[in-house]
Structure 1
Amino acid sequence: MKNRKIGKYEIIERLGRGGMAEVYRAYHANLDRYVAVKVMHKFLADDDEFATRFEKEAQNIARLKHPHIVQVYDFEYDNTTESYYMVMELIDGVTLKEYFAEYEQKGQPIPLEDALRISREAASALAYAHKSGMIHRDVKPANLMLDSKEGHRVVLTDFGIAKIVKGSQMTVTGGLVGTPAYMSPEQGVGETGDERSDLYSLGVIMFQMVTGHLPYDAETPLALIMKHLNDPVPSILELNPQLPKALDDIITRLMAKEPDERYASANELIDDIRQLEAMLTGDTTTINTTTPTKRQVLPKDTTSESDIDSPTLPIRKVVVQPKPTPIDEPKKPSAVILFGMAFIFALIVLIGGYLVGMNVGIFPSIFGTNANPTALSVVLVDETEEPTPSSTPQPTQTRAVEMTTEVPVVIIPSETPTYTLTPANTAPPTNTPRPTNTPRLTSTPTTAPTETLTLTPSQTFTPSPTPNMTLTVAVEQTATYAACIFDYAIIEQTPKDGREGGFFRTNSTYTRRLTLLNTGTCAWEVNTSLRFITGSGQSFGSTPILLREAVDVGATVEIEMVLRLPSVGSQEPLSGQWQLRTRGQLPIGEPITIRILVADF
């Protein structure tokens, strides 16, 4: 899009790109003003409701006027590119993500004074937006700009984008909107989240700023989401004992698993940060830094944020409990975890059924084939803490979820009227001691010809290894895909593109070899394709190219394009655009443009 116009804005250069949009530096001649233009990817417009949602949310975003929120000037649809775009204030500076990288190179975290100021100003933006009824839902370092012209003023960007793209995102990925490393537990299980979800994400950013590390690390997006759901919040003092205990309390409260245990409002968080800043600068305000029996939040000050922030909302003071120690009684399952397991099972059914229908992917190898759908009633049992030897086993709470799925199930009857659910094509069981009171599948007679099975755990439930193996693999394949970022980089192409590649004879066969690197977060599946985009230029008689092998993250693949050049030459390179797409037709990165000089000689 370089050296062209979109609407009344002259495009100068591309500043960045993501899974939903590209951002350009542009110039508005009439106002003599440089702006940032965010152009939404064309595939989003395939959602029938996208136009309405875009206009509504863009109007809401444009109403936000706050020094720590990027100002939106205009929004429109461009007929030439068939894309919606949004015109915003151009911030001259770096993102917090880039600021992190500067300090990573030095091998140290961001200075505490800067970290607290950045956190407070970001919280100020959230307080104002929340008061206006706007939830961000994707607070992360890449969406926080530091304005170099105004003393690294924090500017929060991409407000409302998560909601604008939600319809299309739900359709193509299964419902997860956000960034797994900064996603709250409730967002990780498919809930939309509220103000407290934004505060959780800010808590993760604070943790990263003062320690130089993320609180959780994992190899896959799904594993990362599960850690946010289940793992205790690590203490910043374990990574840096010199940090204030009061700061550890703030971050622990922000990152509480249950939303009700977090700060009730961003203004409440601002109060605590201000008190901590006062303590560090030697203000007369005192804060109790001794180790209490329970983690106490900082005492609330009467100091309010400046007039640019919203007034304090009604709040409920929450005391953050210390990290749990083993107790005699099993822990009551969290409502978020219960819902999360139900959500994951739903993902397995929806996406798993689709893959089985295609007879591809991991599901056929696990379950085998079966022409008859089986109605399966499943009881979800939450994992509880292991009781101490002196404890008395207590029944765990369960939630029954009945699902009808076409995933084949092999039922092997035994000599007694009980049934065992056994995946096909699995390794033979090892000689391990059989757990006592393993789950039983009991037959429930009904008038329907299909038998309904009910999984009934006893009070001392111990899951058998085989069904757990199946669940783990299935969830990994579905929920991971839901959080994928697909992208590529061109490592090499022969011949070179455009004029660098030289002239080629008309009516000849032309071969272009591309070496592509998978720079996304997930592998490209078998049957990922490279297809010509109709109406974008010369197709050169190309046909879709399918990848016959999966391409892992960080791996390269060579694609050979055999094209037929036209019968008429040209002084300028002829061009065409091809789009790399997943098997499910999700775009991988931006289109690839091929330019060829064709001449008669």
Structure 2
Amino acid sequence: MLSAPRHDPAAVAAALGVTDALFLGGGTFGDTWRVGDQAIKVICVDGYPPERVAREVNGLSRVNSQYVVRLHKADKIVLEGSVRPALYFEYVEGGDIQDRIERAQRPTPAETEALLAGMLTAVRDLHAADGTIHRDIKPANIALRNGNWEAPVLLDLGLAKSATETTLTLYPGAVGTPPYMSPEQLKGKRARKASDLFSVGVTVRHAYAGVHPFYDPTLDYTYDEAVERVKAGPLPLPGELPENIQNVLDLLVSEAQFERGSATSNLRRMGIEA
């Protein structure tokens, strides 16, 4: 996340036709601003493929879930002389998991179980919508509605892809955010539904334990080294999680895709009929 906006807030507010816009954060391709009860993502880089904007819009239009952010509309604005895509989302009050990790605020075992159930439900609903795969699940892309661990909301479908869409990615090539990418993504292979599940497992384990399950943050890893760390297995989970919840979290971060199951099968392992 970028700590400063790419454009002057007054210029952004004028482009959006409002008197004030609050900078929420920035990513690789765009900045997100709060205007009233909406979060507006403005693509700021030149040459951003319009197909990616269409993909995010299509991905969100296919799913209806309380655990996936709602898209209000897609538009274009003129910002400091350039036409920029702008996506208008619901604003999810409460911050995101990345912020909680940075503040060393960890969920209780009960909250962790509810967080895991919510994230698996989000992924189940997403995967059921024309086989859509998120491909970039990570703490910064999970908001907590009203600050509640029990109410995660999946954000940012900019890298999402449905089973019926032609890929915009040339393989081999890594897609995603390395610390949360599955081993198959690290190897430059296509992301599958199981890849999203791996990212869910890593994200929940990181939130609960307060440390990444595979990587030392003070070290840099090549993709090959990262894969070897995954092969070696995750750090043990602390505290007292129910056995079935710990089992699900262990399966989700398996190196082998087939061992991760599906979102639905893991919800059933948690005792939730999906």
**How many Å separate the matches in 2 of 1:93 and 1:215?**
25
Partner AA of 1:112 in structure 2: P
Query: Is 2:5 aligned against 1:36?
Result: no
2:127: which partner in 1? Answer: 130
Q: Which has the higher contact order (CA 8 A, sep 6+)?
A: 2
Pairing partner for 2:208 from 189, 210, 218: 210
- What is the count of residue pairs matched by the alignment? 256
Q: Which residue type is aligned with residue 304 of structure 1?
A: E
Q: CA RMSD in A?
A: 2.8
Contact 1:93 1:145 in 2 (8 A): yes
* Contact 2:65–2:125 (Cα < 8 Å) also in 1: yes
CA distance in 1, matches of 2:114, 2:141: 16
Identical residues among aligned pairs (%): 23
Q: How far apart in 2 are the matches of 1:37 and 1:69?
A: 16
For residues 75 and 192 of structure 1, what CA distance do their matches in structure 2 show? 28
Is contact 2:201-2:253 (8 Å) kept? yes
Distance 1:36 1:241 in 2: 36
Q: Given that residues 37 and 85 in structure 1 are in contact (C-alpha distance below 8 angstroms), is that contact kept between their aligned partners in structure 2?
A: yes
Partner of 1:55: 54
In 2, Cα distance between equivalents of 1:14 and 1:200: 31
Q: Give the Cα–Cα distance (whole angstroms) in 1 for the partners of residues 223 and 185 of structure 2.
A: 14
Instruction: Pick one of 178, 186, 201 that aligns with 1:180.
Output: 178
Q: Deviations over 1:249-296 (max 9, x none)?
A: 222211111211211x211111222x3xxxxxxxxxxxxxxxxxxxxx
Distance apart, 1:134 and its partner CA: 1.2
Q: CA 1:170 to 1:221, structure 2 compared with 1: closer, same or farther past 3 Å? A: farther
Q: 1:230 to 1:216 in 2, by over 3 A?
A: closer
C-alpha displacement of 1:304: 1.6
Aligned partners of 1:203 and 1:251 also within 8 Å: yes
Identify the residue that residue 86 of structure 2 maps to in structure 1: 85
Q: Could you tell me whether the CA contact under 8 Å between 1:180 and 1:221 is conserved in 2?
A: no
Structure 1 pair 97/224, CA: closer, same or farther in 2 (3 Å)? farther
Q: Which residue type is aligned with residue 233 of structure 1?
A: G
- The 3 A distance-change label for structure 1 pair 11 and 82 is farther
Unaligned ranges ≥5, structure 1 = 28-33, 276-302, 306-601
**Once the 2 structures are TM-superposed, how far is the Cα of residue 229 of structure 1 from its aligned partner?**
6.3
Please point out which of 9, 17, 41 is paired with 2:26.
Answer: 17
Instruction: Tell me the equivalent position of 2:268.
Output: 271
Change (3 A) 1:210 1:43: same
Q: Secondary structure at the match of 2:63?
A: coil
Q: How far, CA to CA, are the matches of 2:243 and 2:235 in structure 1?
A: 10
Distance 2:250 2:150 in 1: 27
Q: Which runs of 4+ in 1 moved over 6 A?
A: none
TM-score by length of 2: 0.82
Amino acid at match of 2:65: H
Q: Contact 1:16 / 1:22 at 8 angstroms: preserved in 2?
A: yes
Residue aligning to 1:279: none
Aligned to 2:152: 154
* Contact in 2 for aligned 1:136/1:159 (Cα 8 Å): yes
The CA deviation string for residues 370-401 of structure 1, in whole angstroms up to 9 with x for no partner, is xxxxxxxxxxxxxxxxxxxxxxxxxxxxxxxx
Q: How far apart, CA to CA, are the structure 2 residues paired with 1:71 and 1:241?
A: 35
CA distance in 2, matches of 1:126, 1:65: 12
5 and 161 in structure 1: CA distance in 2 versus 1, 3 angstrom threshold:
farther
Does the CA contact (< 8 Å) of 1:180 and 1:224 recur in 2? no
- Which SS does the other structure have where 1:93 is aligned? coil
Aligned residue for 2:21, secondary structure, equals strand
CA distance in 2, matches of 1:154, 1:7: 28
Structure 2 counterpart of 1:256: 254
Which whole-Å deviations, capped at 9, do the CAs of 1:320-353 have from their partners, x for residues lacking one?
A: xxxxxxxxxxxxxxxxxxxxxxxxxxxxxxxxxx
Distance 1:151 1:198, change over 3 A: closer
* Matched position secondary structure for 1:39: strand
Partner letter of residue 86 of structure 1?
L
In structure 2, C-alpha distance between the alignment counterparts of 1:161 and 1:10, rounded to whole Å: 31
Residue matched to 1:232: 232
Match of 1:304 in 2: 273
SS at match of 2:9: coil
1:111 is displaced (CA, Å) by 0.9
| Offset at residue 206 of structure 1 (A) | 2.4
Q: Cα deviation per residue 1:36-70 (whole Å; 9 max; x = unaligned)?
A: 1101122343xxxx123422441332332211111
User: Does the 8 A contact of 1:135 with 1:160 survive in 2?
Assistant: no
Q: CA deviation at 1:180?
A: 1.3
SS in 2 for 1:268: helix
1:393 corresponding residue in structure 2 = none
